[in-house]
Amino acid sequence: MTKLSGIRITYTGLLSFVGGLISIVTGLIFTLIITRTLSPEQYGSWGLINVLLLYVLMIGPIVSYWTTREIARDTHSGKTSVLASFGLSVIATIVYLFIAYVMSIYSNVQVDILLMGGILIPAMFVNSILSAINLGSKPHVVVYGTVAYGLTSIPFAFLFVNVLEIGIIGLLFSLLISYCVSIVIQFYYSYDKLKNNFNSKYIKKYLKYFWIPAYPSIAIIVAGLDISIFTILMGSVIGLAYWIAASVLPSMISHTGLISRGVYAKLLGSDKKDYLEDNIIHVLFFGILLTSVVITFSRAGLYVLNPIYEFVFPVVMILAVDGFFTVLTNIFTQSLAGIENVDKDNTSTFKDYVKSKLFLPPTLRLIQTCTYVVILTTGILFLKNYSVSDVNLLIFWASIAVLTQIPLSLYLYVLVKRNLMIKIKRKHILNYVLSAVIVFGLTYFISDHFLYYTNNLVVFLPNLLAYVIVSILGYFVVTSLLDNKAKYLLKSILKEIKEKSVRSK
């Protein structure tokens, strides 16, 4: 058993979640700067750049996947993994430039703008590998770099986009600066893991077993094809702009997964698994909360981003449900990988790896994403012939996403339950759902009748935030009355805050 068994799961998770909430705020402000400044065509182009970056970032786990596992097991591979990851970033940049050039031919986006996206790749790779090192040793500090990234991006985005008016190029430079700030912070906390010498044996391992971390990336790449397919079939980025706008609010839900940030390293460094059940319950508690917030305020949230996107709020509601189950899918997948020890045995064969828990969940996800993309492509080709409106096309798109995601989440839970011997009591889930229905159902009815929509954000935002805050507090109160675990969790959070405030004095 390594020292990683001393990780405080709840503390690490809640600290990461708080950092995630801060990132939500900074991310929304950053997005607000974009949506209130860029035209739908420019915003769609920005979304396309992000998708193309996602494609090439998928080779990063070839190194970072093993790095977290090695560091958690006190293996000295830090310096080697950083150098290897930087080498991969060079390859990724070359591939990105090629893909960007090809996509410029099939879309109405300027080729020079797409190519400029490549300046982010080296910084993104270095930031990712340093985060992987910290995740394996000090998972709670990863949030520091994330928060710094978000806080830095806002002033520079405002400077480059609003003041200097250099559009997408300005956004790219603002993110580059933000990544550099995050890298400095991540480097500071991972420095003790980088003092070791370069060792080629780790490079040999990465090359020999590259297919293991690369395999899950295939599913992510396949899922990411939806953006490219939609853009090519529609021949425009206008519909894509609506989709990207509709995805902003549901993306907040992904931060609930941060509550399980310490679980992976803990499972790798310890044989104990009794904390996982409570951790999943905490994820459900906050996941249902954020999902309810997104659904209830979907229309108002889009109005804040830009009134021209308001009409796609039904898409936001559907994507919120998809986002919730995606979080669960990721947690279950990571938990299964955390208890797998096949890579500890140097004699493990290809067949051993294929039979392991490192391989099965990605295979299931690949099946799910392939099904999703095939149905989506077929559906768009069919609906396009009937001149279906953009919003109905997007509703179809979102519906296919959630309908293929839910079965995967449920089956992975069955695997987790079977292998980690946990059992989530239904009464907790029912209590959280019932609380959400009561509180947010009432909030939706009241806000729909009394929330005044005005393009003056100075007036509209405070009113909207008041509804959001009151409903969140209402959820806390009702769940505390209905559920003992929720009551205990909230008391623990308040206790931690009090202790921190006393120590700070």
DSSP secondary structure, 18-83, as one string: HHHHHHHHHHHHHHHHHHTTS-HHHHHHHHHHHHHHHHHHTTTHHHHHHHHHHHHTT---HHHHHH
What average pLDDT does the segment 179-207 reach? 86
Residue type, 409: S
Cα gap 264→163, rounded to integer Å: 43
Which residue bears the tokens 């998972």? 139
In a domain, 56, yes or no: yes
125's tokens = 């790779």
Mean of pLDDT values over 407-415: 92
Question: Which of 319, 344, 492 has the alpha carbon at shortest distance from 405?
Answer: 319
49-53, 223-227, 438-442 — most confident range: 438-442
The shares of helix, strand and coil residues in the chain, as percent rounded to the nearest 5, are: 85, 0, 15
Question: Of 395, 383, 230, which Cα lies nearest the Cα of 314?
Answer: 395
Rounded to an integer, the average pLDDT of 481-502 is 72
CA 215 to chain centroid:
19
294 within 8 A of 316, measured Cβ to Cβ: yes
Per-residue model confidence as pLDDT tens digits over 205-218 = 888 878 877 788 78
How much of the chain, in percent, has pLDDT values that exceed 90?
26
| Cβ neighbourhood burial of 158 (10 Å; 0-12, 13-18, 19+) | middle
* Spatial CA neighbour of 329 closest among 219, 446, 205: 219
**Lookup result for tokens 């319950």:** 281
pLDDT of 474: 94
For 259, the domain range is 7-424
Is 341 part of any domain?
A: yes
Residue among 199, 208, 272 at smallest CA distance from 9: 272
Q: Report, as an integer, the average pLDDT of 192-209.
A: 82
Is the confidence at residue 505, as pLDDT, over 70?
A: no
Please give the pLDDT value at position 16: 64
What would the mean pLDDT of 422-449 be, rounded to a whole number? Answer: 89
> What distance in Å separates the CA atoms of residue 14 and residue 11, rounded to the nearest whole number?
5
What are the pLDDT digits (tens) for 13-26? 566 666 667 777 78
Count of structural domains within the chain: 1
- Prediction pTM value: 0.75
Name the residue among 308, 327, 175, 313 with its Cα closest to residue 251.
327
Alpha-carbon distances, residue 23 vs 160, 173, 303, 472 (angstroms):
20, 19, 20, 18
Residue by residue, DSSP assigns 133-178 as HHHHH-GGGHHHHHHHHHHHHHHHHIIIIIIS--HHHHHHHHHHHH
What pLDDT shows up at residue 2? Answer: 42
Q: Answer whether residue 498 is part of any domain.
A: no
SS3 181: helix
Judge whether 480 lies within some domain: no
Question: Does residue 430 fall inside a structural domain?
Answer: no
For position 6, what pLDDT does the model report? 47
Token readout for 128 is: 């990712």
- Whether 141 is covered by a domain: the verdict is yes
> Which residues have C-beta within 8 Å of that of residue 455, sequence separation ≥ 6?
307
pLDDT of residue 270: 58
Query: How far, rounded to the nearest angstrom, does the alpha carbon of residue 8 sit from its chain's CA centroid?
Result: 22
How far apart CA 417 and CA 44 sit, in angstroms, is: 41
Per-residue pLDDT tens over the stretch 235-246: 666 777 888 888
For residue 13, is it within any domain? yes
What is the rounded average pLDDT of the residues 2-7? 46
pLDDT band at 411 (very low <50, low <70, confident <90, very high): very high
Distance CA 217, CA 338 (A): 18
In a domain, 448, yes or no: no
Structure tokens at 157: 């985005």
Mean pLDDT over residues 295-310, rounded? 89
Interatomic CA distance for residues 177 and 123, integer angstroms: 9
pLDDT reading at 95 higher than 70: yes
467: which residues sit within 8 A by CB, 6+ positions away?
Answer: 297, 443, 446, 447, 451
